[in-house]
Amino acid sequence: MTTTQNSTGTGTANRTGLYLAGLQLVFTLGWTTYVVYLPKLAAEVGIAPSAVILILMLDQAIFTIADTAMGIAADKLAPHVGRLGLFVALVTAISCGAFVALPFVAGAGAAAQGWFIALIVVWSITSSALRAPPLTLLGKYRAKPQVPFLAALTMLGYGVAGALSPYLGVVLREHDARLPFVISSVVLLLTALGLSRIEHDVARDTVPPTPDEAAEPLGLVPIAFIVAMVALALGYQLHFAMNSAPFYLRFAAPGDLQWLMPVFWIGFNIAMFPASLVVKHRGGLVVMGAAGLFGAVAIAAAEFAGNLNMLIAAQFLAGAAWGCMLMSAVSAALAIGSTGAEGKVTGLVFSALALGTFARMAAVAGGLQKMPEYAPLLHWAPVACWSVAGAGLLVIAAARLQGRSGLKASAGE
């Protein structure tokens, strides 16, 4: 009987991970669709091309706040089985409605500019319900040893979307925006509606652990963890979004970028699963720290690559490092928030990712990449971000391990 129960629980856990991967995949591809069409839609309502980056920065500023707020809401709803799925479905319906409306409102011309911006704000706020809240199911219902593998499955959707994005941009560029917006919204809504079923399944097959204490205010370790996450996110943004294409253009033609840029994401997707085994036994902070240092070396190798093959290998390894960092960050967030704050800490991780994106966009808006005096800063800032954050995380992990050893010694164990 026990074997049957364990088999059932493992099957449900895998279904949960695959579901969350699908949710991340659909949502991230929807974001790519939005970014591809935004310049054209903005032009239709009379917004200058130079202002498009400001709209994208507004999105990221909203995500920075809303991701944490949605995570906190998930913590309050998750103890009541069914409410989290209902909440996500309702908010997603609002999000999809605003998203679908964007190309239709843009077609009305400059008179609809205010409505267009309002819809973007509504979409940005409500889409945060699709990031941290579903992941709280992993922390509240799944056994701790299962979490790293499930986090890897979940982030696989994000990584696959990253690999597909260059192709999607090429395919969509010449098509009317309305059909892609409708299709992506319908698929996303149908996927989100499945969360209630997943929520009931995991609640039925597992007993959520009772926290030893109520959720506490963030202490020193969680704050240091989030600060490190901001640095890692900024390093990723500067390396991949700003430096990777120029690196490749040293050895390849612009038309080859759609085939070369996904190399980073191939490494991302492959490395997460073996790394999840290390997280299971050593903890997320250790893997995040080690991956940060390893990734810094890979970025430096990309900087000094003497030919295309060396650069491809370095980009593959940098992507593998980022995959390990992101997967272990989700695992660490769920572990750090295990006293009832899983949603809040996971939301803070996504807020850190949004803040890193905002900073990179601010650099682009300021034209830093076009200023020769700032070129060394942009090239080496990712190395600094990943190496400093990685070293800091390893120090924190070592201090926590030493503290636990001291506690066991004082207890006579």
pLDDT of residue 143: 57
Compute how many other C-beta atoms are within 10 angstroms of the C-beta atom of residue 410.
8
Judge whether residue 412 has pLDDT over 80: no
Per-residue pLDDT reduced to its tens digit, 114-142: 999 999 999 999 999 888 888 887 776 65
Per-residue pLDDT reduced to its tens digit, 56-92: 999 999 999 999 999 999 888 877 766 788 888 899 9
Judge whether residue 93 has pLDDT over 80: yes
pLDDT-wise least confident of 161-170, 247-256, 285-294: 161-170
Helix H or strand E segment including 92: helix 83-106
Q: Which residues contact 38 (CB under 8 A, 6 or more apart)?
A: 52, 55, 56
pLDDT-wise least confident of 176-180, 259-263, 339-343: 339-343
pLDDT-wise least confident of 75-79, 251-255, 351-355, 403-407: 403-407
Q: Which residue has the higher pLDDT, 19 or 114?
A: 114
Backbone φ and ψ of 320, nearest 5°: -60, -40
pTM of the model: 0.88
Judge whether residue 165 has pLDDT over 60: yes
Judge whether residue 314 has pLDDT over 60: yes
**Confidence category of residue 338, pLDDT binned at 50, 70, 90:** confident
Report the share of the chain in percent with pLDDT over 90: 51
d(CA 209, CA 203): 11
The length of the chain, given as a count of residues: 413
Domains and CATH numbers, the chain: 10-214 (1.20.1250.20), 216-336+366-413 (1.20.1250.20)
Per-residue pLDDT reduced to its tens digit, 384-404: 999 999 999 999 988 877 765
d(CA 360, CA 191): 31
pLDDT of residue 12: 65
Report the share of the chain in percent with pLDDT over 70: 88
d(CA 177, CA 330): 34
d(CA 266, CA 105): 37
**Confidence category of residue 408, pLDDT binned at 50, 70, 90:** very low
